[in-house]
């Protein structure tokens, strides 16, 4: 299983994320840091799928917590557009997940990651 | 500007099925501004087609290129080599762009990747609305700059129809009644007297009814 995690560097500690995500023979998880989740556009996310990702997780800041005010809102809309496009393409819905950060910290991400792997397997 | 929307990926796959080397050709003018066929959309659609090709084992080889204008020879020439080394062109230009490319490369299949919708404006971020029907005989001066042909659902030159509710069109309640807008605009600029004149039936010969239109400017020809 190949999963790609795009995350806003203001919402997650990159070291903590890497320490809590393990790659093994079965699974490969790649992380991409963004200055703001609003930096992603459709092409970033589609390219991940084109290059072999089975699923993509986009981590945004919590509601009203975006350092750039509305980057997290834009990111969510773009992810929804990609999810629809994947359905058009024939990959089906549910491979593009958006996580709005809450107080759980890194556990929220690892839980979502395991759930996505389970859903896609 | 000309406003267009991309065709769905299944439609594009069906159009391209059977071809191998595909040039996805964008246009840097109107369709870039309406986010349908510019450089970024070329990359997005190409990426989507590559994924679709992998799933369906279609073996597409996709090249991407965007030129400044697909309806202009000077810029089309810049795409010549790319067009010649591919089997087929998927044009993300408007209908004029697609035909301009097809007319210049007679032995190359050229397909439309977009549906050309209308001449319009960006109303607000992500919303485009139709403003002009390109009828060939503009009457905007008579109606305070609001086109009754395009913006009235019944294309009435002597409105309103009487069916509007508040200021909403009865055919499309999500749109304002064009005649309400015309009245308010003419009132605002002190030209309500214009509404007292009855407009004669419009001569549609200047529009599509007269066949494919041509403009010849002898002062620009040698």
pLDDT digits (tens, 9 = 90+) for B60-69: 999 999 999 9
Give the number of other CB atoms < 10 A from CB of residue B113.
27
Whole-number pLDDT of residue A121? 86
Q: Look at the alpha carbons of A79, A84, A85, A91 in this order and tell me if their dihedral is positive or negative.
A: positive
Contact with chain A for residue B15, Cβ under 8 A: no
**C-alpha angle A74-B116-B138 in degrees, rounded to nearest 5:** 110
Q: What is the ipTM of this complex?
A: 0.92
Q: Are strands A55-60 and B88-91 parallel, antiparallel or unpaired?
A: unpaired
| Whether pLDDT at A22 is above 80 | no
Each domain of chain A, given as residue ranges in start order, spans 2-120
Q: Which residues face A58 on adjacent strands?
A: A6, A98
- The length of chain A is 121
Q: Encoding tokens for residue B93? A: 């230009």
Mean pLDDT rounded to a whole number for chain B: 96
Q: If pLDDT is split at 50, 70 and 90, which confidence band does A15 have?
A: confident
Count of CB atoms situated within 10 Å of the CB of A112: 16
Chain A: which residues have CB within 8 Å of chain B?
41-43, 46-47, 49-50, 85-86, 88-91
Residues 6 or more apart whose Cβ sits within 8 Å of residue A13? A106
CA-to-CA dists, residue A100 to A15, A62, A105, B30, B45, angstroms: 19, 5, 11, 35, 28
Here the tokens at position B96 are 């004029």
Integer Cα distance of B159 and B136 in angstroms: 21
How much of chain B is helix, strand and coil, in % rounded to 5?
40, 20, 40
Task: Name the more confident of B13 and A102.
Answer: B13
Q: Do A46 and B10 touch (CB under 8 A)?
A: no
If DSSP codes are grouped into helix, strand and coil, which group holds residue B29? coil
The answer to whether the bond into A4 is cis (omega within 30° of 0) is no
The minimal CB distance from A88 to the residues B8, B43, B47 is found for: B8
Nearest chain A residue to B35 by CA distance is A42
Domains and CATH numbers, chain B: 2-118 (3.40.50.2300), 137-210 (no CATH)
Nearest chain A Cα distance for residue B49, angstroms: 8
- CB spacing of A89 vs B56 below 8 angstroms: no
The answer to whether the CB of A57 falls within 8 A of the CB of A116 is yes
Residue A30 φ/ψ, nearest 5 degrees: -110, 145
Q: What pLDDT does B25 receive?
A: 98
Supply the pLDDT for residue A14.
Answer: 82
CA distance A44 to A30: 13
Instruction: Give percent of chain A with pLDDT exceeding 70.
Output: 100
Q: Quick one: pLDDT at residue A99?
A: 95
Q: Which residues 34-93 of B are in CB contact (within 8 Å) with A?
A: 40, 43-44, 47-48, 50-52, 55-56
**pTM attached to this predicted model:** 0.93
Contact residues, chain B, for A95 at CB < 8 Å: none
CATH class, A2-120 region: alpha beta
CA distance B52 to A86: 9
């Amino acid at each position: 299983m190949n999963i790609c995690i795009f995350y806003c560097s203001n919402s997650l500690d990159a070291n903590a994320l890497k320490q809590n995500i393990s790659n093994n023979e079965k699974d490969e998880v790649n992380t991409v840091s963004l200055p703001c989740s609003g930096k992603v556009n459709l092409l970033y996310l589609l390219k991940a799928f084109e290059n072999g990702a089975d699923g993509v997780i986009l981590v945004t800041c919590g509601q009203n917590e975006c350092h750039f005010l509305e980057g997290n809102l834009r990111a969510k809309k773009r992810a929804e557009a990609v999810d629809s496009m994947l359905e058009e393409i024939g990959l089906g819905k549910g491979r593009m997940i958006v996580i709005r950060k809450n107080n759980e910290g890194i556990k929220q991400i690892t839980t979502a990651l395991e759930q996505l792997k389970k859903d896609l397997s | 500007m000309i406003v267009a929307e991309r065709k769905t990926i299944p439609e594009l796959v069906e159009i391209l099925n059977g071809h191998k080397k595909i040039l996805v050709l964008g246009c840097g003018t109107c369709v870039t501004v309406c986010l349908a066929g510019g450089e970024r959309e070329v990359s997005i659609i190409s990426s989507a087609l590559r994924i679709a090709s992998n799933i369906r084992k279609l073996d597409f080889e996709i090249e991407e290129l965007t030129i400044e204008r697909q309806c202009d020879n000077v810029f089309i020439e810049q795409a010549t080599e790319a067009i010649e080394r591919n089997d087929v062109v998927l044009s993300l230009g408007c209908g004029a762009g697609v035909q301009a490319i097809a007319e210049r490369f007679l032995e190359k299949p050229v397909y439309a990747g977009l549906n050309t919708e209308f001449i319009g404006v960006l109303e607000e971020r992500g919303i485009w609305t139709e403003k002009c029907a390109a009828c060939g005989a503009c009457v905007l001066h008579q109606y305070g700059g609001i086109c009754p042909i395009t913006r009235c659902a019944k294309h009435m030159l002597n409105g309103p129809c009487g069916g509007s509710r508040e200021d909403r069109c009865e055919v499309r309640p999500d749109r304002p009644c064009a005649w309400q807008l015309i009245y308010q605009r003419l009132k605002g600029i002190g030209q309500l007297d214009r509404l007292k004149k009855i407009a004669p039936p419009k001569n549609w010969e200047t529009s599509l009814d007269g066949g494919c239109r041509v403009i010849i400017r002898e002062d620009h020809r040698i």
